[in-house]
Amino acid sequence: MTAELRTPGSPVEAARPPFVRIAGVEKAYRPRGRALQALDPITFDLGVGEFVSIVGPSGCGKSTLLMLVAGLIPTTAGEVVIQGQRIIRPYTDVGVVFQQDALLAWRSVLDNVLLQIDVRGLDRRRYEPTARALLARVGISGFESYYPGELSGGMRQRVALCRALVHDPPLLLMDEPFGALDALTRDQMVLDLQRLWLEARKTVLFITHSIWEAIFLADRVVVMSPRPGRIASVLEIDLPRPRRLGMRESPAFGRYAAAVRQRFQAFGLLSET
Ligand SMILES: Nc1ncnc2c1ncn2[C@@H]1O[C@H](COP(=O)(O)OP(=O)(O)OP(=O)(O)O)[C@@H](O)[C@H]1O
Ligand SMILES: [Mg+2]
């Protein structure tokens, strides 16, 4: 098994029908009147039920890309198309886990999860059992009436994950969801996410700084360059599922990790001298 590296510029096509099309999407900001090119044109598809990780250095535009896909900010050029619909306003049939957990301090755990339902004007009573079941699934049973300030960082991220899933969206966008967690909690969260994904097979765009996390979870890993972010390479991850933590020490996994690391080193990142 080799770590297949595609060269930049080569077509990036999903093996499955596209669920999300990111076509020549570009983003420039204008902080204090100064032009800042966050993303150079990015083109790739997410196939139906595919898990795609994006790994890239800090500031390369990962969060920007996620916000563009969710329709939360406008593109400067190019377009995002989800299930044939061009995204020009916030897309609602999606679950988003932001880089900060963004729980509301004055709502209980259960009410934070049900926020999705409230803002959509759906029937709270219908979704409460789903919310409770999701919380149980990620080990938060018994804490439904707690407030975010009474939880650990790992618990808060689990609640944020439940909130993204409670309305059963077909698409999940996750921005560094486990970045602030200790290593052990992070391992567990990755395993939990894998289990949830294997059960529901949603289409997932997962953003991370962590090379192993990106490889462990994904069908494909998109490696981004430093800002202005563009696609440096794409790896198809051909490892059987469910993946086990011990696989991180396997030669095949090591080859994928080395391929990503070498990309970063080629950009002058991860200097060892
Ligand atoms: N609202 C904004 N206004 C102006 N510039 C912005 C804005 N949001 C992001 N940027 C700039 O765009 C670039 C990319 O930011 P972004 O948050 O997308 O990076 P990132 O890859 O998510 O970084 P990190 O890994 O640190 O979260 C940065 O240089 C940042 O300063
Ligand atoms: Mg970010």
Q: Which two tokens stand for residue 138?
A: 């990620």
pLDDT tens readout for residues 106-148: 999 999 999 989 988 889 999 999 999 999 988 889 999 999 9
Domain 1-93+173-273, CATH homologous superfamily name and number: P-loop containing nucleotide triphosphate hydrolases (3.40.50.300)
31 lines ligand 1 (CB under 6 A): yes
Substitution site in 25, 60, 267 for ligand 1 pocket (most atoms within 8 Å of beta carbon): 60
pLDDT at 13: 52
Residue 240: other Cβ atoms inside 10 A: 8
- Residue 245 CA, ligand 1 centroid: distance in Å: 31
29 lines ligand 1 (CB under 6 A): yes
8 A C-beta contact, residue 159 and residue 151: yes
pLDDT at 6: 46
Distance CA 49, CA 219 (A): 10
pLDDT at 268: 81
3-state secondary structure string, 10-56? CCCCCCCCEEEEEEEEEEEECHHHCCEEEEEEEEEEEECCCEEEEEC
User: In the predicted model, is pLDDT for residue 269 greater than 90?
Assistant: no
pLDDT at 102: 83
Q: Whose CA is nearest to atom 30 of ligand 1?
A: 59
- Residue 58 CA, ligand 1 centroid: distance in Å: 8
User: In the predicted model, is pLDDT for residue 20 greater than 80?
Assistant: yes
Q: Whose CA is nearest to atom 17 of ligand 1?
A: 63
| Preceding omega of 228 cis (within 30 degrees of 0) | yes
Q: Whose CA is nearest to atom 8 of ligand 1?
A: 64
27 lines ligand 1 (CB under 6 A): no
User: In the predicted model, is pLDDT for residue 214 greater than 80?
Assistant: yes
Substitution site in 32, 37, 58, 64 for ligand 1 pocket (most atoms within 8 Å of beta carbon): 64
Residues forming a β-bridge with 208: 55
74 lines ligand 1 (CB under 6 A): no
61 lines ligand 1 (CB under 6 A): yes
